[in-house]
Amino acid sequence: MSTEPAPLDFNTVRRFLRVVRSLLTSEARHKAIALMVMLLVCALSVNALNVVNSYVGRDFMTAIAHRDMGKFRVEAILYIGVFAATTVVAVFYRFAEERLGLVSRSWLTRRITERYLNDRTYLRLKESAEIDNPDQRIAEDARAFTTTTLSFVLIFLNSILAAISFSGVLWTISPLLFVVALGYAALGTLATILLGRPLVGLNYKQSDREADFRAALIHVRENAESIALLRREGRMKARLLRLIDELVDNFRRITSVNRNLGFFTTGYNYLIQIIPALIVAPRFIRGEIEFGVITQSAAAFAQLLGAVSVVINQFGSISSFAAVVARLSALAGAVEQKTGGRSEIITVEDHDRVAYEQLTLQPLHGDDVLVADLSVSIPRGERVLVTGPNEAARVALFRATAGIWSHGTGQIHRPPLDEIFFLPQQPYLTPGTLRHLLIRTGHDQEHSDEQLLSAIHDGGLDSVVQRAGGLDIEHDWPTFLSLGEQQELMVLRVLLARPSFVLLDRVSTTLGRDLLRRTLQQLDARSITSINFDEADDAEHYDAVLRIEANGTWGWTRVE
């Protein structure tokens, strides 16, 4: 499992720009572009109103200093009018920002999810352990990426507009103050980067620590009964407390860096309030400017400095965002990566047989051989038992036939996946209703309620329907049904689908020998060719036996 943060390198920046470009060329581009235009118009309007407000505020304060009641009333009305207009524009600005964030998040999350599920990428990432907590990266990091990216784009846009708008204002008041603002911001930015640079790696690690802790809590919830029965509370408690210590320790380091950074940034921001007065007030005292210019210079100085000091003011958020970008970049790189390794297994579609040609399988790690140079052909209608002491080899062969074992060489001939079913040892029941469990996706109209209930009755599962409350009630099936009932439902699903082949992996452990033999008879009666991967069974129920030895050698025996 990877523990090193992905660097913010050229590939990270390239992927970031590609995501933005893909959004602007996707099906969501029309909404995105319209909202971007609305944001740009609002940003320009807000900055223009801020400039107007600085002049209105200057004249308002000057009227107070001169005790000019008539001028005071006029400027007060203008002041209120500018505030009202700014409020309206700011509300629409915020609305457009949130809506654009929603559009971009929806698009990015859908895109990552589709790629994560395509070509069994989720399985490859799980087996290779090259990416920690991909679920958290898809759900939370994608949200943070879209909202924070938009936030930073708008912050930098507003900073540029504010810098352009108030540079002229500040220059007309005092060229010296303008130069001081730029120099002060440059030194502050450099110091902030030097002090806060460790935050990027620490925030990256913190996201992983939080995700690991949450995953452990989910594990406890999903395995609550097993933990209670086996009395594993002590072990789980020790693991959870260790994860808490790790995330607290990392967060303590973050707070230490933030403390040091806070000493600088807080003092930096306090000085902003007095620097304009130190430079401009002497001119007022000498009678060169009016009193309102002092307040205008303070406002313009603060606006300009805020614009050019965006790194200082947003460094904590920038460091968190950098970690999010690095994590998503690592996920994107892993998702886009083609299946690697030593795999030279070629799968060929063949509607009439399952066959292996010079197939050699190897374990995920190491150079041992699980199955050596296997060459057999299983035509339609021939029942085969795959057995022997080498369980790892049987599991690898089962998974390789399904296309989820990539370590090895040779060829596998099998029907298309719509025509071949795989029953693993541990049944998997998807969330949904009993109807959803029994009928494969896209074939809902092929079976009436009467047919389903009749098949359930023939399978001896009437009690399941009664307890479930019918065919269309959703349940948490792994906790609602026993392991045997779950496997029986999966067998019933195969019988209803009627594929040409079905491969069974150690299902006798959940069905029992008697139910397994009845299942083999039902499959045979429906002309479904069965290949059973099991450690031992009576050969008389099969037409041939493939035995894989501990050293990877194999033997093929016909049953008379």
Residues 502 and 494: beta-carbon distance below 8 Å: yes
**What is the rounded distance in angstroms from the CA atom of residue 533 to the CA atom of residue 192?**
63
**In terms of residue numbers, what domain contains 121?**
10-336
Q: Nearest-5° angle of CA 345, CA 348, CA 350?
A: 145
Clarify whether residues 128 and 245 are in a common domain.
yes
Clarify whether residues 423 and 282 are in a common domain.
no
Residue 3 in any domain: the answer is no
Clarify whether residues 362 and 409 are in a common domain.
yes
Count of domains in the chain?
A: 2
Residue 364 in any domain: the answer is yes
Give the strands of the sheet with 384-387, arranged side by side: 420-423, 501-505, 529-533, 384-387, 544-548, 554-558
Residue 133 in any domain: the answer is yes
pLDDT digits (tens, 9 = 90+) for 486-524: 899 999 999 998 999 999 998 888 888 888 899 999 999
Of 284, 316, 336, the residue at which a domain comes to its end is: 336
Of 276, 307, 336, the residue at which a domain comes to its end is: 336
Of the chain, the percentage scoring pLDDT greater than 70 comes to 85
Clarify whether residues 321 and 421 are in a common domain.
no
Q: Which of 409, 378, 372, 398 is nearest to 548 (CA)?
A: 372
Q: Is pLDDT at 6 greater than 50 in this prediction?
A: no
Q: Is pLDDT at 3 greater than 60 in this prediction?
A: no
Query: Residue 129: CB partners within 8 Å, gap ≥ 6?
Result: 1, 2
Helix/strand number for the chain, H first, E second? 22, 10
Rg for the chain (alpha carbons), in Å?
34
Which parts of 286-359 fold into alpha helices (H)?
A: 291-308, 310-313, 315-336
Q: Where residue 352 sits, what CATH number does that domain have?
A: 3.40.50.300
Q: Is pLDDT at 211 greater than 60 in this prediction?
A: yes
Clarify whether residues 249 and 352 are in a common domain.
no
Q: Which of 69-73, 484-488, 536-540 has the lowest mean pLDDT?
A: 536-540
**What is the rounded distance in angstroms from the CA atom of residue 371 to the CA atom of residue 410?**
11
Residue 72 in any domain: the answer is yes
Return the number of other C-beta atoms located less than 10 Å from residue 390's C-beta: 21
Residue 456 in any domain: the answer is no
Q: Which of the four pLDDT bands, split at 50, 70 and 90, describes residue 5?
A: very low
Clarify whether residues 382 and 278 are in a common domain.
no
**What is the rounded distance in angstroms from the CA atom of residue 132 to the CA atom of residue 332?**
13
Question: Which tokens belong to 368?
Answer: 């041992």
Buried b (16+ CB within 10 A) or exposed e, 443-468: eeeebeeeebeebbeebebeebbeeb
Clarify whether residues 367 and 235 are in a common domain.
no
pLDDT on residue 143: 75
Of 285, 304, 336, the residue at which a domain comes to its end is: 336
**What is the rounded distance in angstroms from the CA atom of residue 79 to the CA atom of residue 340?**
66
More confident residue, 555 or 364: 555
Clarify whether residues 229 and 264 are in a common domain.
yes
Angle between helices 315-336 and 69-117 (to 10 degrees): 20
pLDDT digits (tens, 9 = 90+) for 338-395: 554 445 789 999 989 999 999 999 887 777 899 999 999 999 999 999 998 888 999 9
pLDDT on residue 554: 93
Residue 221 in any domain: the answer is yes
pLDDT on residue 179: 78
Question: Which one of 79-83, 231-235, 487-491 scores highest in mean pLDDT?
Answer: 487-491
Residue 439 in any domain: the answer is no
Clarify whether residues 261 and 408 are in a common domain.
no
Q: Which of 477, 469, 367, 346 is nearest to 413 (CA)?
A: 346
Q: Strand 420-423 to strand 408-414: parallel, antiparallel, or no bridges (unpaired)?
A: unpaired
Query: Residue 59: CB partners within 8 Å, gap ≥ 6?
Result: 71, 75, 292
**What is the rounded distance in angstroms from the CA atom of residue 96 to the CA atom of residue 23?**
16
Of the chain, the percentage scoring pLDDT greater than 90 comes to 16
Residue 171 in any domain: the answer is yes
Q: Which residues pair with 4 in a beta bridge?
A: none
Question: Which tokens belong to 547?
Answer: 């035995």
Place of tokens 């070509």: 119
Q: Which of the four pLDDT bands, split at 50, 70 and 90, describes residue 7?
A: very low
pLDDT on residue 10: 59
Clarify whether residues 275 and 423 are in a common domain.
no
Clarify whether residues 315 and 424 are in a common domain.
no
Residues 407 and 363: beta-carbon distance below 8 Å: yes
Clarify whether residues 311 and 255 are in a common domain.
yes
The whole-angstrom distance between residue 383's C-alpha and the CA centroid of its chain comes to: 43
Q: Where residue 146 sits, what CATH number does that domain have?
A: 1.20.1560.10
pLDDT digits (tens, 9 = 90+) for 100-150: 888 888 888 888 788 777 777 777 777 666 666 777 777 777 777 777 777
Buried b (16+ CB within 10 A) or exposed e, 75-86: beebeeebeebb
